[in-house]
Chains A and B, each alone.
Chain A
């Protein structure tokens, strides 16, 4: 149990286009989903926290108008990179916290999406 999927697993797009990445909890409901960004050979950096039915909370330095997050249901959150540029190329990983989960280690990660902007 506790599977999180991401779609697509990789995407290549032209500069100036928008890209949507989906994060789904497949076998549990997630009150909260998190979006991380990871540059090559670097650590995961939290971008934003999204709660179902409310606005996402963005970390300092993350442009909310560039990285649009929608958490429309308890099993789906989407990250849209608007007007993507080459510097947005990165590995984007989502994680989901299980609804009702009381354990601090009940955060499950998706497999990640590799975005390359040409």
Chain B
């Protein structure tokens, strides 16, 4: 079974609008963590946000917030006030137990248009 599922291969959003990128995960570990990374066309992986399974509050970093719904095993990324520079691939990833190594989803391509 897929550990991380990103069902949206591509998303379009208008500049200044908010967008939600979906991510569901599968794990039997009680301790785990969820990441979101941005990969622009240049290829570098840029860390955006992290949510630990025991964190009670949803993680937020500037315009990025993670909508963590533990019972539904979902960890959607919300980008508010989209900017043209947000156009990129976005990967959801999960680490399990004591491992530092994340498993990545297939990614969602986000295009922000003016």
Q: How far is the CA of A91 from the CA of B44 in the complex (A)?
A: 10
Please count how many residues in chain B sit with their CB below 8 Å of the partner chain's CB atoms. 21
Binds B, one of A15-23, A38-46, A62-70, A77-85: A38-46
B100 touches A107 (CB 8 A): yes
How many of chain A's residues have a CB under 8 angstroms from any CB in B?
A: 23
B67-91 contacts to A, CB under 8 A, are 91
Residue of B with least CB distance to A112: B43
A8 at the binding interface (Cβ < 8 Å):
no
- Interface residues in A15-61 (C-beta closer than 8 Å to B): 32, 34, 41-46, 49
Could you tell me the distance between the alpha carbons of A108 and B105 in the complex, rounded to whole angstroms? 18
Of the listed residues A93, A107, A111, the one surrounded by the most CB atoms of chain B closer than 10 A to its CB is A107
Q: How far is the CA of A45 from the CA of B52 in the complex (A)?
A: 22
Give the residue of A32, A45, A95 whose beta carbon is less than 8 angstroms from that of B45.
Answer: A95
Q: Which residues from B are CB-within-8-Å of A104?
A: 33, 50, 52, 95, 100
- B42 lies within 8 A of chain A by Cβ: yes
For residue A71, CB closer than 8 A to chain B, the reply is no
Question: How distant is the Cα of A108 from the Cα of B45 in the complex, in angstroms?
Answer: 8
The 9 closest A-B pairs by CB, nearest first: A109-B45, A105-B50, A112-B43, A111-B44, A43-B104, A44-B104, A104-B33, A43-B106, A97-B100
Query: A-contacting residues of B (Cβ < 8 Å)?
Result: 33, 35, 37, 42-47, 50, 52, 91, 95, 100-107
